Amino acid sequence: MPPIISIASLSKVYASGHNALKNISLDIDKGEIFALLGPNGAGKTTLISIVCGIVTASAGSVRVDGHCIQKDYKAARKAIGLVPQELTTDAFETVWATTGFSRGLFGLPPDPAHIERVLRDLSLWDKRDSRIMTLSGGMKRRVLIAKALAHEPRILFLDEPTAGVDVALRQDMWRLVRKLRDGGVTIILTTHYIDEAEEMADRVGVIRNGEIILVEDKAELMRKLGRKQLTLQLDAPLAALPPALAGHSLALAPGGRELVYTYDTKGEAGLTGLLADLGAAGIGFHDLHTSQSSLEDIFVDLVKERA
Amino acid sequence: MNWYAVRALYRFEMARFWRTALQSIVAPVIATSLYFVVFGAAIGSRMTSVEGVPYGAFIVPGLMMLSLLTQSIANASFGIYFPRFAGTIYEILSAPVSPLEIVLGYVGAAASKAILIALIILATATLFVPLRIEHPFVMVGFLVLTAVTFSLFGFLIGLWADGFERLQLVPLLVITPLTFLGGSFYSIDMLPPVWRALSLANPVVYLISGFRWAFFGHSDVSIGVSLAMALAFLVLCLIGVTWIFRTGYRLKS
């Protein structure tokens, strides 16, 4: 299946000389949730803005659903809904009017039933006649999402969608995003909340200093780069690690009462050997627990590594 | 052609006009009434007619043109500047809308509002002075041409401005003086020869003169020249707007 978004050798140098994107190539598959992670100023918003037509690329090409964003920009943009990072809304408009405006702007005839569905999905129906200026920040965020969904896009860009919203609203949004994905919408989200990407994404891309440093299936990424730790509570304290255990990646915690075994997800087979060697060395334990690195740990390691 | 987008932009802009109906409609009616009190009753009563037209009636085309120019520029410049200022321009830039469709929406709405206000002024004027319109089709043609041209000019100002001060700069320092000195309240034939010659460098003279011809059948300069000047300014504004959309000046990084 051809990618729904295909970015090839994309670069952006702003008039100030700032090189925001450096020769980026990236394919987004149809129907996936793709999380684009990166520190502030990495180039996430510039990348999204180029695909959506807000910023002009310095070099490279982008195709959306097979359409070149330059030559066939109308067809390309029709497929896209964008929820920007900033809460930029028409303060004096009502929720209903601004959502209908967005639908018209994208070339579709009025469809009150669809607008009602979108507003109900986002718990905005009761606020449909309210002016946007009277809404809370979280509600304004929902309005931006409603506007982006008003023209039934096949691709949805969510630029920091849950920045500054409360936990309940975040979970509401996650539910909505999953529902949209289940309906066949491709979602590209940037977020500072790595747990959000961990929770939602099918694939993860990491961008740093205008370069994509990694694109990977999330589960594969966690498997490849994730680390696990097994901590054993010993029956009797050890003064030092016995030489018989030197072959294992073990560390003795201060006090000698805990042994910590660190392994990657591929090294799970070594556990059996470790337990056998512990038995042979006469080292008993009365409790154990395991922990696993999060996507956040992996992200921090990746960004530090390439710094 | 994305007509739904043109309609959406047009209706959005017109909604702003109706939201501020008191300011949009009542203010020009009061201002026109004041002009008639001052120029029509107080000063006009001491003046003889100008070119055979009672002074009160003579100033009506000028008053209409004064409002038409200022309203066209103000509506169009604010219409496009405010989304840039508020950041909501992202939605227009990311929508499947061509520059022509954007201009049709914004300029169409700005011109409609200005024409509506000019017609309200005309209706108000009939309460004060007897009026005749000798060439109503030419009057309507000039009204539309001028409103569209100056809405385009206002659109350019709205794209060029990087703050509210600049937004006001051209209308206040250029357009208002040119309009007042363009024969809104007098015929340039009443001026000494030097000032008359200088006045001919003022493009607004041709608009007011042509408009007045539509009302009374005579003008300071020939109707053909007036029309040519109005069309020339329209072409200039179109070139400016086309250049801005081609280069993305002030619109895209």
pLDDT digits (tens, 9 = 90+) for A2-60: 889 999 999 999 888 888 899 999 999 999 999 998 888 888 889 999 999 889 899 99
pLDDT at position A224: 65
pLDDT at position A276: 85
Residues 8-47 of B with CB under 8 A from A: 8-9, 11-12, 15-16, 19
How far is residue A59's CA from residue A214's CA, in Å, rounded to a whole number?
Answer: 21
ipTM: 0.80
Neighboring chain A residues of B11 at a CB cutoff of 8 Å: 101, 104
Q: What is the pLDDT of residues B4-21, one digit of tens each?
A: 999 999 999 898 888 877
pLDDT at position B190: 77
CB contact under 8 Å between B253 and A56, yes or no, is: yes
CA distances to A22, A255, B105 from B14, in Å? 43, 77, 10
How far is residue B231's CA from residue A52's CA, in Å, rounded to a whole number?
Answer: 37
CB contact under 8 Å between A55 and B86, yes or no, is: no
Residue A305 has pLDDT above 90, yes or no: no
Residue in A92, A93, A106 nearest the CB of B96: A106
B80 touching A (Cβ < 8 Å): no
pLDDT at position A150: 93
* Three-state secondary-structure class, residue A63: strand
Instruction: Return the ∠ at Cα B249 (arms to B84 and B240), rounded to 5°.
Output: 105
Which range among A69-83, A152-166, B35-49, B181-195 has the greatest average pLDDT? A69-83
Nearest CA in chain A to B11: A101
What's the token pair of residue B95? 């929508």
pLDDT at position A230: 84
What is the rounded end-to-end Cα distance, in angstroms, of chain A?
35
A-B C-beta contacts closer than 8 Å = 82
Residues 6+ away with beta carbon under 8 Å from B31: B67
CB contact under 8 Å between A77 and B15, yes or no, is: no
Torsion (CA) B240, B242, B246, B252 in degrees, nearest 10? 70
* Three-state secondary-structure class, residue A182: helix
Mean pLDDT of B180-190: 79
B7 touching A (Cβ < 8 Å): yes
When pLDDT is cut at 50, 70 and 90, the band that residue A74 belongs to is very high
Mean pLDDT of B185-199: 79
Q: In what order do the strands lie in the sheet with A59-64?
A: A19-28, A5-13, A59-64, A67-68
Domains of chain A: 5-222 (3.40.50.300), 227-293 (3.30.70.100)
Neighboring chain A residues of B86 at a CB cutoff of 8 Å: 88-91
Per-residue H/E/C for B119-183: HHHHHHHHCCCCCCCCCHHHHHHHHHHHHHHHHHHHHHHHHHCCCHHHHHHHHHHHHHHHHHCCC
Classify the C-alpha dihedral A61-A64-A70-A71 as positive or negative: positive
CB contact under 8 Å between B94 and A15, yes or no, is: no
Neighboring chain A residues of B96 at a CB cutoff of 8 Å: 73-78, 106-107
Greater model confidence, A35 or A219:
A35
Torsion (CA) A63, A68, A73, A76 in degrees, nearest 10? -30
CB contact under 8 Å between A52 and B88, yes or no, is: no
Nearest CA in chain B to A107: B4
Q: What is the pLDDT of residues B18-70, one digit of tens each?
A: 887 777 778 877 887 888 777 766 676 677 677 777 877 888 888 888 888 88
Q: What are phi and psi of A165, to 5 degrees?
A: -110, 155
* CA–CA min distance A104, chain B (Å): 5
CA–centroid distance for A240 within its chain: 43
Q: Within 13 Å, how many C-alpha atoms sit on residue A53's CB side?
A: 30
- Look at residues A186, A153, A193, A154 and name the one whose alpha carbon lies nearest to residue A171: A193
Nearest CA in chain B to A12: B253
- Look at residues A70, A85, A215, A67 and name the one whose alpha carbon lies nearest to residue A154: A67
What's the token pair of residue A220? 């594969």
* CA–CA min distance A231, chain B (Å): 52
CB contact under 8 Å between B92 and A86, yes or no, is: no
* CA–CA min distance A228, chain B (Å): 44
CB contact under 8 Å between A106 and B16, yes or no, is: no
